């Protein structure tokens, strides 16, 4: 499941909408909406995200949050390590090997490290 799919599913459930009913309201097939929720489809088009926000009554920060999640929710990520240190290529491959075995806490710990590295790498 992608971050967008998890959030969409939670929002739909919180509003008491069925998958089929929401799909019909959006003019989509239930299979496509299910695939979006479960991360079996790529990121949704911006227009669809806006339709979803309208249907769910999302405004301001909630709508922006859903748009941001859509941007980072492509289930297949390609990393180009060309021109980087060999250790960067090793890191990507090692992560790919173990990612599906990591516990949620381990994933969050890695994300904390990456956020700290991103903050320290920003020009001041």
Is 0.85 topped by the overall pTM? Answer: no
User: What average pLDDT does range 14-18 have in this prediction?
Assistant: 96
Residues 6+ apart with CB under 8 A from 67: 46, 49, 53
User: What average pLDDT does range 89-101 have in this prediction?
Assistant: 94
DSSP type of residue 27: T
Residues 6+ apart with CB under 8 A from 59: 53
* Per-residue pLDDT at 19: 96
- Dump pLDDT digits (tens) for 24-82: 999 999 999 999 999 898 889 999 999 999 999 999 999 999 999 999 998 788 899 99
């Amino acid at each position: 499941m992608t971050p967008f799919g998890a959030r969409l599913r939670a929002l739909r459930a919180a509003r008491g909408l069925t998958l089929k009913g929401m799909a019909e309201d959006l003019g989509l097939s239930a299979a496509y909406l299910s695939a979006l929720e479960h991360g079996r489809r790529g990121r949704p088009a911006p227009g669809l995200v806006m339709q979803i926000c309208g249907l769910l009554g999302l405004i301001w920060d909630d709508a922006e949050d859903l748009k941001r999640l859509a941007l980072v929710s492509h289930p297949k990520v390609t990393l180009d390590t060309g021109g980087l240190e060999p250790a960067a290529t090793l890191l990507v491959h090692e992560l790919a090997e173990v990612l599906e075995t990591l516990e949620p806490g381990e994933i969050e710990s890695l994300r904390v490290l990456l956020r700290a590295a991103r903050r320290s790498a920003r020009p001041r």
